[in-house]
Structures are given as structure tokens and as C-alpha cells.
Structure 1
Amino acid sequence: MLELYQFELSQYSEKVRLILDYKGLEYRKIEVTPGIGQVELFRLTGQRQVPVLKDGSRYIADSTEIAKYLDSQYPERPLIPTDPKKRGVCLLIEEWADESIGIKGRKALFSAISQNQNFRKSLLPSNTPDVLKNLVEGVPSDVLTVLGLGVGYSPDAIRSAIADLKQDLEALVLLLADSPYLVGDEPTLADFTVAGMSILLKFPDGPYLNLPETIRGKGVPVLAENPAYQPFFAWRDRLYAQYRKPLIGGTTTASPNAPTSIQIE
């Protein structure tokens, strides 16, 4: 069985999960523990970032490379069009979504969790001890602002990211106004990339991510609650309903004994 080394809230991991579900491929999720798990991942693949897909004895890193690999090895329900123009548009949108929505979405979410203590607590893994959840919930917003400065998430950077995301969402609403998908009449890599990158802006309504039910359908208020962008999120949720497999029992598709750090063979 395919194995996906991932972070549950990684947009790039979600992009791959969408692709695997669309292709009807069975896979096991392995949650990588930040820190030591990433060191072990580096020993396996030469890099510390998720997602990484394991197929037999082969490891494929980077969501784009994983998509291309899956299309070559599992060609049923192709992701990348063969028509030259459609292929070019698909690859352009995929790259744009990775670099724009993917990166700026993290900054927008940081803004939301800085302002909402309950939201911040809900995003912690379900197995986080209550004492740690309460500690994280009680961190003052001004402390998070200082922490954000250390990783480039200054108030100006966040405002700029949100302004750019508003334009991105406006563009997507226009592109989807008279088309079921972003490139032609069938879903492509472009659709699954945009959908995956958008999860931090507004979480899907259904049981697709291992998150509390209370935050399904919620997200960055200025984006998730803006009526102008609802056509996009409605399209995204329809894509999920069509192609994304819901979690078994509302929790996870992985084995209940799946490790929380990478096991090296």
C-alpha cells in the first residue's frame, strides 16, 4: 500500500490526499512529528518537508513531483491534460496556487489564530493533553504577534497577504463562473492544487480533515465569511463531495496504530 508521510494541516499534504482519492488509490497516512520526525525524514529523502509518498521502496518528495509520479505510474484518471494549451494553463495555475495561496494562506491563518483563542486551541492535534491546550489557549495575542515577527509574519506582511488572497479569490470566482473546473470539463491538477491550498482559508464542511467538528466550515473570517467568495468555497466543497473520501468514523483513514513519527526500515 502507498504511504503518505504528512502533516494533517499541511495544504501540500492535502493536495496529495485529494489526488490519491481522485485516482482511487489506497494509502496509509503517517503523521510526521515536527522535529525528530523531520530529522528521520531527512535521512530517508534528503529533505525535511512533507509530503513524501512511499511507493514500494521508492520515496517521492514534493507535492508537484508526487502528482507527476502518480500520473506516470497510475495513469487512470489523469491529472495533467495532454492538449498543449490546457496542459500549459493547468501547470501555470498549479504553480501559482502553490506559491500564492499556499504561502499567503499560512499568514492569514496565523492572523486568525492570533485573534481567536478558541480557534487556536481547536487546531491542536486531538491527542494534545488538556493542560497544553489550555496553555496554548491562554497565550496573549501580543505574544503571538512578537512570535510572528520572528518568522516574517509581521502585521504588514499579514495585511499584504490577505489583500493578495482577496484578489486570488476574486479571480477564482471569475474563472469558475461558467465552468465546472478550472481547465476544461474535467478536474485536473490545477483544481486539486487550488482546493488543497485553500483549506487554511476556510476548512471544508465535511469530515475530511482530522479536526474538531466545531471548526469545520470555519476559517479566516475576512475571507471565509465574505459573501463575494462563497461561490469559490461552494465549488471547493462540491469538489470534495465528488472526489475526497471522508474520514472513517470522522477521525482518520490511517491505521489506528499508525506511528506519529517516521519508522525507518
Structure 2
Amino acid sequence: MLELYQFELSQFSEKVRLILDYKGLEYKKVEVTPGIGQLEVYKISGQRQVPVLKDGDTVIADSTEIALYLDRKYPEKPLIPTDGVARGKCLLMEEWADESLGLKGRKAFFHALNHYPSFRSSFLPENTPDILKTFVNAFPSEIMDVFSLGVGFGKDVLKEAEKGLKQDLEALTLILHDQPYLTGDKPTLADLTVAALTTIIKFPSVAYYDLDINLEGKGIPGLADNSAYEPFFTWRDRIYADFRQPVDKSNRNNSSGNSGDSKPTTIEIE
């Protein structure tokens, strides 16, 4: 069985999970928890980042490389068009989405956590005591800004990312106004990439992330609740309804999409 070394809340891990579901491939998730070492990921792939896909003796790192490998090895329901122009558009938009939506989305997410207490506290488990929720809501944004600097995201960088996402979402909304998919009349890697990477901006209303918190329908204020982008998120949610397998939170042992009853393994990395 395919093994996906991943971080559940990672947009790029979600991109691979959506691709695997789209192709109808069974897989087992190996959750890589921030911690000490990154020894297991480095041991199998020679680098420290997730996602990493293991297919027997073959190990592939990077979500784009994983997508290209899966299209070669499992060609049913292809991700990339064979026509030259359509292929070029697909690959160009996929690369743009990784570099723009992926990176800006993560920065804007940090900005929202810093500056919107209600958004911040919504990521606490439902059984969190009220006193702790009150503390999280009251936590000064200035302290959160210091934390962001520690991970390389200054205040201005975060604000610029949110501003750039508004332009990206407007462009995507315009492109999809008169066509069902980003590059034509069939879904491609471009569509799956854009759909997955925008979940962190506004999570679908159905549970696709296997976490002990309810993310469904939550999103970054000013982006997720902007009516101008509603047609785009409606399109995105249709992609998910058509191709992604929801998580059954009533059965915590089944947490890897089409992977059957295998419980995800957790490894500690930093």
C-alpha cells in the first residue's frame, strides 16, 4: 500500500491526499509531528520536508514530483493533459498555485491567528475549558507578532500576503466565470492544486481534515467571508464533493481517506 508521510494541516499534504482520492488509490498516512529530529523522513527521503510518498521501494518527495510520479505509475484518470497547449497551461498554473496560493495562504493564516482572537480560539478543541478560551482570546496580538517573527513572518510580510491573496482569488473567480475548470472542460492537476491549497483560506463545510477540532466552514476573516469570492469557493467545494473522500470522525481508526482501517502511524520530527 502507498504510504504518505504528511502533516494533517499542511496544504501540500492535502494536495497529495486530494490527488490520491481523485485517482482512487488506497494509501496509509504516516503523521509527521513537529518534534525532534526529522530522522525518519530524512532516513527514507534524504530531506526533511513533507509530503513524502513511499510506493514500495520508491520514495518521492515534494507534492509536484509526487503528482507527476502518480500520473506515470497510475495513468487512469490522468492529471496532466497530453495536448501541448493544455499541458503547458496546467503545469504553469500548478506551479503558480504552489508559489502563490501555497505560501501566501500560510502567511495569511498566521496573520489571522495573530490578529483575530475569535479565529484563533476557533481552533481549540470543543471541550476546551472556558477559562482557557478566554485566555486565548485575550492573548495580545503583539506577543503573537513576536512569535511570527520567530518563524520568519514579519507583520508587513503577513499583511502583504493577505493583500496578494485577494488579487489571486479575484483572478480565479474571473477565470472560472464561464468554464467548469481552470484550463478547460476537464479537471487537471491545476484544479486539484488550487482547490487543496485554498482550504487553509476557507475550509470546506464537510470534514476532510482528520483532526480533533472542527475546521468545517471556518476561514480567514476578510477572505473567506468576502462575497466577491463566493463563486470561487462554491467551485472549490464542488471539486471536493466530486473527488475527495470525507473523514468519518465517528471512526477515529479510519483516518486516511481510501486507506481502509489502518490507524495512522505518528513519527516525531522538528
Please report the TM-score for the alignment, with normalisation by the length of structure 1. Answer: 0.90
Moved more, 203-212 or 137-146: 137-146
Alpha-carbon offset, residue 256 of structure 1: 6.0
Alpha-carbon offset, residue 188 of structure 1: 0.4
Q: Does 1:259 align with 2:261?
A: no
Alpha-carbon offset, residue 66 of structure 1: 0.3
Alpha-carbon offset, residue 112 of structure 1: 1.2
Moved more, 254-263 or 18-27: 254-263
Alpha-carbon offset, residue 260 of structure 1: 1.4
Letter in structure 2 aligned against 1:242: D
Alpha-carbon offset, residue 58 of structure 1: 1.5
Moved more, 112-121 or 44-53: 112-121
Alpha-carbon offset, residue 116 of structure 1: 3.6
| Cα deviation code 1:188-232 (max 9, x no counterpart) | 000011011101111111111124664311111110000000111
Relative to structure 1, the CA distance from residue 180 to residue 158 in structure 2 (aligned partners, 3 Å threshold; closer, same or farther) is same
Q: Report the Cα distance in structure 2 between the residues aligned to 1:121 and 1:58, rounded to whole angstroms.
A: 41
Query: Which one has the bigger helix percentage?
Result: 1
Q: Does 1:3 align with 2:3?
A: yes
Moved more, 85-94 or 240-249: 240-249
Q: Secondary structure at the match of 2:13?
A: helix
Letter in structure 2 aligned against 1:253: S
Counterpart in the other structure of 1:181: 181
Counterpart in the other structure of 1:89: 89
Q: Report the Cα distance in structure 2 between the residues aligned to 1:241 and 1:257, rounded to whole angstroms.
A: 24
Counterpart in the other structure of 2:79: 79
Counterpart in the other structure of 1:172: 172
Letter in structure 2 aligned against 1:204: P
Counterpart in the other structure of 1:239: 239
Letter in structure 1 aligned against 2:20: L
Relative to structure 1, the CA distance from residue 171 to residue 256 in structure 2 (aligned partners, 3 Å threshold; closer, same or farther) is same
| Correspondence list, 1:195-206, <5 A | 195-206=195-206
Q: Secondary structure at the match of 1:261?
A: strand
Identity in percent: 58
Q: Secondary structure at the match of 2:203?
A: coil
In structure 2, stretches of 5+ residues that fail to align are none
Counterpart in the other structure of 2:191: 191
Counterpart in the other structure of 1:222: 222
Contact 1:93–1:190 at 8 Å: present in 2 too? yes
Contact 2:5–2:31 at 8 Å: present in 1 too? yes
Alpha-carbon offset, residue 159 of structure 1: 1.5
Moved more, 245-254 or 102-111: 245-254
Contact 2:23–2:76 at 8 Å: present in 1 too? yes
Counterpart in the other structure of 2:68: 68
Q: Does 1:52 align with 2:58?
A: no
Q: Does 1:140 align with 2:146?
A: no
Counterpart in the other structure of 2:33: 33
Please report the TM-score for the alignment, with normalisation by the length of structure 2. Answer: 0.88
Q: Secondary structure at the match of 2:38?
A: helix
Q: Does 1:161 align with 2:161?
A: yes
Alpha-carbon offset, residue 38 of structure 1: 2.1
| Cα deviation code 1:104-149 (max 9, x no counterpart) | 101111111113445435546x6x998xx76866643211111112
Q: Does 1:42 align with 2:38?
A: no
Q: Report the Cα distance in structure 1 between the residues aligned to 2:263 and 2:213, rounded to whole angstroms.
A: 22
In structure 1, stretches of 5+ residues that fail to align are none
Q: Report the Cα distance in structure 2 between the residues aligned to 1:63 and 1:193, rounded to whole angstroms.
A: 9
Q: Report the Cα distance in structure 2 between the residues aligned to 1:171 and 1:26, rounded to whole angstroms.
A: 34
Moved more, 172-181 or 249-258: 249-258
Letter in structure 1 aligned against 2:120: R
